Amino acid sequence: TKVYVGNLGTGAGKGELERAFSYYGPLRTVWIARNPPGFAFVEFEDPRDAEDAVLGLDGKIICGSRVRVEVSTGMPRRSRYDRPPARRPFDPNDRCYECGEKGHYAYDCHRYSRRRRSR
């Protein structure tokens, strides 16, 4: 099981990470990102050891920085700014801004479709 280690200092060393994490159990691999720096992945042989390391090391100072430690999901993290804005559900009582009729929105307005800009 892989564990994500975030907020690492740029001078983080593999040996110091191995010492901190191997306390919780045997490690398979330790990989430190260099470009961009600031995070690492530590892989444990036993998933229970990974969970213990998350509980024991999250928020602790390792390699000179207070690190964030969590079980890796295998999915890239998305910030809330990466998502498209949520559109509220269609309400048949809403009125069109263009013609004032109910049942459709301005981008679907049949009366004013000729006003749309071509792309």
d(CA 62, CA 49): 18
pLDDT at position 90 is 74
Q: Which residues of 72-99 are buried (b: 16+ CB within 10 A; e: fewer)?
A: eeeeeeeeeeeeeeeeeeeeeeeebebe
Instruction: Show the low-confidence residues of the chain (pLDDT under 70).
Output: 75-88, 112-119
pLDDT digits (tens, 9 = 90+) for 14-47: 999 999 999 999 999 999 998 889 999 999 999 9
In 3D space, the residue among 88, 24, 35, 84 whose CA is nearest the CA of residue 60 turns out to be 24
pLDDT at position 75 is 66
Three-class SS state of 27: strand
d(CA 104, CA 49): 56
Residue 90 has which token pair? 């269609």
Q: Whole-prediction pTM value? A: 0.62
Domain limits, the chain: 2-71, 91-119
The CATH class given to the 2-71 domain equals: alpha beta
